[in-house]
Amino acid sequence: MTQNTLFGDEIETESDLFKRFLVPPFSVLDTRQGYWQERKRKWINLGIKSEIGRNAKAFHIHDWIEDHRGSDSLSGCVHGGGVSVFDPILTELIYLWFTKEGQIVLDPFCGGSVRGVIASRLKRRYIGIDLREEQIRANKEQLNICGDPYPTFICNDSRHIPLLVFEPIDFLFSCPPYGNLETYSELKEDISTMEYPDFIISYAEIIEKSCQKLKNNRFACFVVGNFRDKKTGTYNNFVADTISCFNNCGLKFYNEFILLNSVGSMCLRINKQFRSSRKNGNIHQTVLVFIKGDAKKATEELGEVKLINPFKQDNRNI
Residues 233, 224 contacting (CB under 8 angstroms):
no
pLDDT at 248: 98
Alpha carbons 163 and 122: distance in angstroms, whole number: 27
Query: Count of residues for the chain?
Result: 318
Alpha carbons 74 and 93: distance in angstroms, whole number: 19
> C-alpha distances in angstroms, 98 versus 95, 101, 107, 242, 299?
6, 11, 14, 19, 8
pLDDT at 72: 38
Alpha carbons 243 and 234: distance in angstroms, whole number: 20
pLDDT at 188: 86
- Ranges in the chain, pLDDT < 50: 3-8, 56-76, 78-82, 317-318
Q: Quickly name the fold that domain 24-313 has.
A: Rossmann fold (3.40.50)
pTM score of the predicted model: 0.89
Q: 2, 35, 31, 28: which is closest to 16 by C-alpha?
A: 2
Residues 105, 95 contacting (CB under 8 angstroms):
yes
> C-alpha distances in angstroms, 168 versus 110, 230, 272?
18, 39, 51
**Judging by beta carbons within 10 Å of its beta carbon (0-12, 13-18, 19+), is residue 183 exposed, middle or buried?**
middle
Number of C-beta neighbours around residue 133 at 10 A: 12
pLDDT at 262: 87
Q: What is the pLDDT of residues 86-105, one digit of tens each?
A: 999 999 999 999 999 999 99
